[in-house]
Amino acid sequence: MLKKTLNVNGIPRTILVNPKDSLSTVLRKQLMVLGVKVGCDSGQCGACNVIMDGKLIRSCITKMSRVPDGASITSIEGIGTPDNLHPIQLAWIAHGGAQCGFCTPGFIVSSKALLDSNPNPSREDIRDWFQKYKNACRCTGYKQIVDSVIDAGKVLRGEMTEEELAFKIPADGRIWGSSMPRPSSVAKVTGTWMFGADQGILMPEDTLQIAMVQAEVSHANILSIDTAEAEKMPGVHKILTHKDVKGKNRISGLITFPTNKGDGWDRPILCDEKIFQYGDAIALVCADTKKHADAAAAMVKVELEPLPEYMSAPAAMADDAIEIHPGTPNVYYTQKLAKGEDTAPIFEKADYVMEGDYYTSRQPHMPIEPDVGFAYMNEDGKLVIHSKSIGLYLHMYMIAPGIGVEPEDMIMVQNPTGGTFGYKFSPTMEAMIGVAALATGRPCYLEYTYKQQQQYTGKRSPFFTNVRLAADKQGKFLGLETDFSVDHGPYSEFGDLVTLRGAQFIGAGYNIPNMRGEGRTVCTNHCWGAAFRGYGAPEIEFPSEVLIDELAEKMDMDPLELRYKNVYRKGSTTPTGCEPDAHSLPDLIDLVRPRYEAAKKRAVANSTPEMKRGVGVAVGVYGCGLDGPDTAEIDVELNADDTITVFATWQDHGQGADSGVLGTAHEALRPMKITPDQIRLVMNDTSVCPNAGPAGGSRSQMVVGQAILNGCQALVAAAQKPDSTFRNYDEMKADGIDTKFHGKWSAPCTNCDENAQGDPLAGYMYGVFQTEVAVEVATGKTTVESILVAADVGCINNKLIVDGQIYGGVAQGVGFALSEDYEDIKKHSTLTGAGFPYIKQIPDNLEIMYIETPRERGPFGAAGTGELPLTAPHAAIINAINNACGARVRDLPALPEKILAAMPK
């Protein structure tokens, strides 16, 4: 042990430390400096940044043996507090620099070090700095962060006042359509937003720390599990196996499609008979400390019988492949697509036919915050589970039978969450921590390492897709045919849904009167498939958008004009045969066209023999809602102090659920002259909030928003007096009028039939993407130099939030196009190994243009936003690469070696 004095945020602290512990561990766990966040724990994300003796360091990789005695350390707490914000923090609030907020303290500390050393940095200086110090953000697209540093510098130099920087509520009091900062922004920029790991440190002394015993093979029979030696290890309270699970020991996949050949009960909580994928949980060690739990986990002996490992859909579909789940075929769901006339004669007579085979990769979500959760029994004997769940009621029903608890005896709570981007649409640790709390009777805490985050959470399901497109001499699309296979990993949850999405969005955005196709969901032994932003659309719109470019090239037609000729207009129908809810795509293309023509000229002018430049375009469309009569419920209550509380499970990936609820409720309550600060939000706790459904499918703003509108309208109507003024709380009570109202809304939609025909979704979002790239001819290395998005997401609730969603979505599209993958289980288990795009990989030149077409089914005309920006930017990048250097890459990611190989020789 070492005795050291550290001056932490101006306060001398003398402590005993283990010299092998990291500075981040000492700051967080000994000194309770919880603004220091730990993401990757390997120096790759910068969430743990602090300034030590004037220098920016990553505290997670700084051992205490290297920290000088008397060192001066500044964390986010030493830069500003909620009631005394630093200009950097004010700028982050004003520009929406904090979305989920997990990386924010590290970025702000990094910015402070930058501005201390360079008071007037350029945008490129800022980007170079964040690249050097490995500050990673998965939410924002980085543009808002650079904007924040620029304006913070102006305030510090006296060129701008704090008042000029701050948001001001418009004179009419209306915040709908404004750029009002999210309610959580102050907590996020000061490091006081309590994420799961922060709450874990503050849990009671008797809390048990969990370590998982995990499979290190992808497919095997379990012969024996021996915990005898492990149980003798120091600090071990209990080691749990499948024998300790009171329920069915399975997570329900909630199979709803009658043609699904599986029963949905295929995912073990703790493996009993088989290993289905690398990382599967076999046992849980519950101990007094994490170190003791990890040491004991290493002593658990598992005897296995290896089985063939099918690591891709084609392998699992082979004739000699055994059934991964005995009794259920590896191809367990098939989805037909049949719209219009039979396509065979159309293709025989068509003037032009283009066909291609395409592959989209197993994209990892890569939030900066690893998965974390805890569970306990409350004073009423109910099991309470805290996690990053973005489907609280959904997960309750998925895990309750497996752990042996009735749903009414469970409470699910979402902690403040450091990004999910969809992976938490699946339960990950919820069932395990629930089992542990039930079996031990004590609070139980589980925090994944980043390796576990990569290896034991779901990923985007790879698609293997063949597409054929027929057109006449003028370029009018006549028919489309497709055949695709979905590698959904070993667990069936939502596997049929993603395959249905493939049928619903192939060729989306275009009036293609005749379509035929078939998709299938395939069980494999690679990582299980989970929801990821755009679920199904980025996988299926990539092949159709690239194929359209190839057809344009064959026809010697401009690819933007070919799209313009065929996009939805009045009388068009979607791939599911219903009318689009807006016809703005021609107008969006008209917005883009002048920029596109200028970009083409710029590409020609700036290309050299060594560096080729090109321009690419793509159309993206996605739906808002879950299929059919998607339903949400909320409560709204007038309080004794005449404030109003909205109770909602509008779960937050970091996308701005708090702003969504506030903006929608305030607009609905404006007749009562309620100000935004009079609206309280109680969110994402099933003990007090009704079931508004999961935060997925870009449904929240439309479906939950309509329920909020419904509930608020009921309150407004009840409070209104005959003279059109409004009762306060005391007057409501005096008149015997209830002060709490229930809001509910169901989408007037129908499920698709067996041929994927119907009106399945509450609404749609439409976008046009334009990208400019530079390709280094000698290496194939590609740089995206600009992205332009023209979007119609209906009437905008909060522009700051919508902008942030689009910037962040297209940034993930850059990674999907060029670098991101989770194929090699070991190599891709880190951020850098999996191709995470840092700031210099994302262009600073990001621009958004909007058309706001009011949606009939949306509250105040709103649609969703979050998934549109990842529908097709990757296709536009791939098209731009071909435009630059003639390299047509059809399988993602387009690594330099693939581009180099595809270049004309």
Report DSSP letters for 477-512, one per residue.
EEEEEEEEEEE-TT--TTHHHHHHHHHHHTTTTB--
Mean pLDDT of 829-836: 98
Mean pLDDT of 667-674: 97
pLDDT score recorded for residue 352: 98
pLDDT score recorded for residue 257: 81
Mean pLDDT of 794-808: 98
Instruction: State pLDDT tens for residues 836-893.
Output: 999 999 999 999 999 999 999 999 999 999 999 999 999 999 999 999 999 999 999 9
List, in order, residues 6 or more apart from 408 with CB less than 8 Å away.
none
d(CA 486, CA 497): 11
Q: Tell how strand 274-275 and strand 220-226 pair up.
A: antiparallel
d(CA 288, CA 286): 7
Q: How far is CA 39 from CA 170, 282, 366, 437, in A?
A: 38, 25, 10, 25
Instruction: State pLDDT tens for residues 459-470.
Output: 999 999 999 999
Whether the bond into 893 is cis, omega within 30 of 0: yes
123 by Cβ neighbours in 10 Å (0-12 / 13-18 / 19+) ranks as middle
* Percent of the residues in the chain that have a pLDDT greater than 70, as a whole number: 100
From the CB of residue 538, how many other CB atoms can be counted at a distance below 10 Å? 30
d(CA 319, CA 656): 48
d(CA 410, CA 405): 7
d(CA 756, CA 504): 7
Q: How far is CA 130 from CA 2, 48, 711, 896, in A?
A: 33, 13, 45, 24
pTM of the entire structure?
0.98
* 775, two tokens: 């390709």
pLDDT score recorded for residue 450: 98
Which candidate, 100, 319, 293, places its Cα nearest to that of 189?
A: 100
Residue 524 has pLDDT above 80, yes or no: yes
Q: What DSSP state is assigned to residue 318?
A: S
pLDDT score recorded for residue 500: 97
Helix (H, G, I), strand (E, B) or coil at 349: helix
Rounded to the nearest integer, the mean pLDDT of the chain is 98
From the CB of residue 98, how many other CB atoms can be counted at a distance below 10 Å? 33
Instruction: State pLDDT tens for residues 133-162.
Output: 999 999 999 999 999 999 999 999 999 999
**Confidence band, pLDDT 50/70/90 cuts, at residue 55:** very high
Q: Tell how strand 644-648 and strand 679-683 pair up.
A: parallel
Which candidate, 114, 150, 147, 112, places its Cα nearest to that of 129?
A: 114
Helix (H, G, I), strand (E, B) or coil at 3: strand
Q: Tell how strand 208-214 and strand 11-17 pair up.
A: unpaired
Which candidate, 103, 815, 812, 830, places its Cα nearest to that of 454?
A: 830
List, in order, residues 6 or more apart from 205 with CB less than 8 Å away.
none
Residue 258 has pLDDT above 90, yes or no: no
Residue 255 has pLDDT above 80, yes or no: no
Placement of tokens 């497919």 in the chain: 219
Is there a catalytic annotation at residue 610?
A: no
d(CA 87, CA 119): 13
The number of residues in the chain equals 905
Which is the catalytic residue, given 481, 541, 637, 867?
A: 867
Residue 254 has pLDDT above 90, yes or no: no
Instruction: State pLDDT tens for residues 605-625.
Output: 999 999 999 999 999 999 999
Mean pLDDT of 762-769: 98
Bridge partners of residue 178, in order along the sequence: 798
* 473, two tokens: 């001499």
pLDDT score recorded for residue 713: 98
d(CA 189, CA 196): 17
Higher pLDDT, 253 or 312: 312
d(CA 21, CA 17): 7
Mean pLDDT of 355-375: 98
Residue 905 has pLDDT above 90, yes or no: no
pLDDT score recorded for residue 294: 98
d(CA 158, CA 110): 21
pLDDT score recorded for residue 284: 98
Mean pLDDT of 655-665: 97
**Confidence band, pLDDT 50/70/90 cuts, at residue 530:** very high
For 85-116, give the secondary structure using H, E and C.
Answer: CCHHHHHHHHHCCCCCCCCHHHHHHHHHHHHH
* 580, two tokens: 């689009």
Instruction: State pLDDT tens for residues 368-379.
Output: 999 999 999 999
Mean pLDDT of 621-642: 98
